[in-house]
Copies of this chain bind each other. A is one copy, B any other.
């Protein structure tokens, strides 16, 4: 069965994009990964209207990618911070892969906006598709694709 004969209804890329494929969602998760937690910080930094931001955050919380944590500053009412869940942190490789591509093809001539390095040795980090058995970075031609048990015929 060729790829074009396989239904995309349950394609995992499609299902991931159903959660984070909306404009701004990945940019909010990027900010969350860099430590932004508060509504006003997201709004100012990502550059979104209150209405759109409220909607996007609500969807990301509903999807279990962000969770809300109450906080209260003296003299103010209780508000909520937004924090990545484990499910949200598991999108980190997506963000890192987009970053890597953006640096390569749309980067600044003078270097990175943010340096991301391995904490213990200082080497710049890299996203790779690997063989976990051999710890070998793979090219697309090193990978074999065949229909799995959940594949269905396209109708």
Contact = CB atoms under 8 A, between A and B. Distances in A.
A111 B148 contact: yes
A102 B4 contact: no
Contacts of A125: 129-132, 138, 143
Contact of A11 (B113, B129, B145): B113
Interface string A114-155: 111111111111111111111111101111111111110010
A149 B113 CA distance: 6
Interface stretch (A28-36, A49-57, A74-82): A28-36
A107 to B, nearest CB: 6
A11 B119 CA distance: 22
Interface in A35-89: 35-36, 41, 44-47, 64, 87, 89
